[in-house]
Amino acid sequence: MSNNQVEYGGYIHHVSILFFLIVMVVVRVEAYSGGGSSEQCDYFTGTWTVDESYPLYKPATCPFIEREF
């Protein structure tokens, strides 16, 4: 085995480890920042918003609400 083949194999080994570490860092950053498709919603933090639009519920779309409401 020539000296160049040994150096090339060592190079591939180091590049593979570096790639693996970069992937792990990206996955961790996305997990801590809430990235991705599963955003979390905190129902206990925030402010109430006043909505003065009426009717609050439409009886035609909700069978459990009486027409008088």
**Spatial contact of 46 and 40, defined as CB atoms under 8 Å apart:** no
Coil, helix or strand for 31? helix
E strand or H helix at 5: helix 3-33
Confirm whether pTM is higher than 0.95: no
| pLDDT at site 10 | 79
| Residue 55, C-beta contacts closer than 8 angstroms, at least 6 positions apart | 69
| pLDDT at site 16 | 92
- What average pLDDT does the segment 5-18 reach? 80
The model's pLDDT over 12-60, given as tens digits with 9 standing for 90+, comes to 888 999 999 999 998 888 766 655 555 667 778 888 888 888 777 777 7
How far, in Å, CA of 54 to CA of 57, rounded?
A: 8
| pLDDT at site 2 | 58
| Residue 34, C-beta contacts closer than 8 angstroms, at least 6 positions apart | 40
